[in-house]
Amino acid sequence: MKLNALTLSRLLVRILFWLNIVLAAAFVALLLWWSVSPHWIESILGAKYGSGKANEIRELMQAALLLGILTAAPVGMILAMLLRMIETVRAGTPFVAINAQRLRLMGWLVLGLQVADLIFSALGIYAGSLHADWQGSTPSLMGWLLALLLFVLARIFSEGVAMRDDLEGTV
Amino acid sequence: MPLQIRLDEQLHQQRMTLTELSERVGITLANLSILKTGKAKAIRFSTLEAICRVLQCQPGDLIVFEDDEEEGAV
């Protein structure tokens, strides 16, 4: 059977879309739980880092969770738009004005996510100063390049739409 | 538009219907209708060649330039 990249992409993006929602919901649940009763997590953190730091580290973890929840929205939007774009390719009409708009919006959303990544890195530096175990990330150039690529692709799509419109009246 | 498509006249001369022409030149009836009604933005040389071949005419018999503004001024 020939592997259809489009079908595979659609399946993968769908899985990621729902995974993003499930993770965001889990983050909300954790955040609510720790806000209502912080004793359990503080006792665990206190046992590991000492009771003096427990409160600070809990707040740091809550900030990271909040950031995760906030970034779930743009991630979800990007995945949803990607899914819609894949649908237009399947329908044989990818060069429509809405796809150019989608790509441009995706570019801005990726830029926003890059800013969130910087904030997350800052949280990592703060965690380092508290000597806390932290699964941090280092800011990478790829995300910024991706945003640039999306803006360029949006422009290419706009040109493609104009060319398709031209071709439509050709017999 | 100053460019007029004279497909109807040529079809009439050859005693041919648009459907028949569509079958013989291999262009969809929808596209030929667009051409006939003057709604086409452009015509491919291959389309023009095929129609001329079937209708045994010249491109000039199919497409005529009529400058409306100049006629109105006279």
Mutation for A interface: B7, B21, B41, most A CBs within 10 A: B41
Q: Tell me, yes or no, if A169 comes closer than 8 A to chain B by beta carbon.
A: yes
Which chain A residues contact residue B32 at CB under 8 A? Answer: 171
pLDDT digits (tens, 9 = 90+) for A16-58: 999 999 999 999 999 999 988 888 888 888 888 888 888 889 9
Average pLDDT rounded to a whole number, residues A74-93 = 95
| Per-domain boundaries in chain B | 3-73
| Residue-level pLDDT at A167 | 85
Q: Tell me, yes or no, if B31 comes closer than 8 A to chain A by beta carbon.
A: yes
Q: What is the pLDDT along chain B (74 residues), one digit of tens a residue?
A: 788 999 999 999 999 999 999 999 999 999 999 999 988 889 999 999 999 999 999 999 999 998 876 555 54
| Residue-level pLDDT at A55 | 86
> How many Cα atoms are found within 13 Å in the side-chain-facing hemisphere of B68?
4
User: Which tokens sit at B48?
Assistant: 């023009």
pLDDT digits (tens, 9 = 90+) for A91-149: 988 999 999 999 999 999 999 999 999 999 999 999 988 888 888 777 789 999 999 99
pLDDT at A151 over 80: yes
Q: CA nearest B44 in A: which residue?
A: A171
Say yes or no for a CB contact (<8 Å) between A170 and B27: no
Is the pTM value of this prediction over 0.95? no
CATH T-level fold of B3-73? 434 Repressor (Amino-terminal Domain) (1.10.260)
A17: Cβ contacts below 8 Å, ≥ 6 apart: A76, A79, A80, A83
Mutation for B interface: A165, A167, A171, most B CBs within 10 A: A171
| Residue-level pLDDT at A135 | 83
Instruction: Decide if A54 contacts A39 (C-beta within 8 A).
Output: no
Nearest to A158 by CA among A95, A67, A86: A95
Which chain B residues contact residue A169 at CB under 8 A? Answer: 34, 39-42
Question: How many residue pairs bridge chain A and chain B with CB atoms within 8 Å of each other?
Answer: 23
A124: Cβ contacts below 8 Å, ≥ 6 apart: A134, A136, A137
Q: What are phi and psi for residue A131, nearest 5 degrees? A: 55, 35
Say yes or no for a CB contact (<8 Å) between A166 and B43: no
Gyration radius (Cα) of chain A, Å: 21
Q: CA nearest B32 in A: which residue?
A: A171
pLDDT at A2 over 80: no
In this structure, the number of other CB atoms found within 10 A of the CB of residue B32 comes to 21
> How many Cα atoms are found within 13 Å in the side-chain-facing hemisphere of A143?
16
Nearest to A171 by CA among B38, B51, B7, B43: B43
Average pLDDT rounded to a whole number, residues A76-100 = 94
Say yes or no for a CB contact (<8 Å) between A170 and B44: yes
| Residue-level pLDDT at A1 | 47
Helix or strand (DSSP H, E) at A92: none
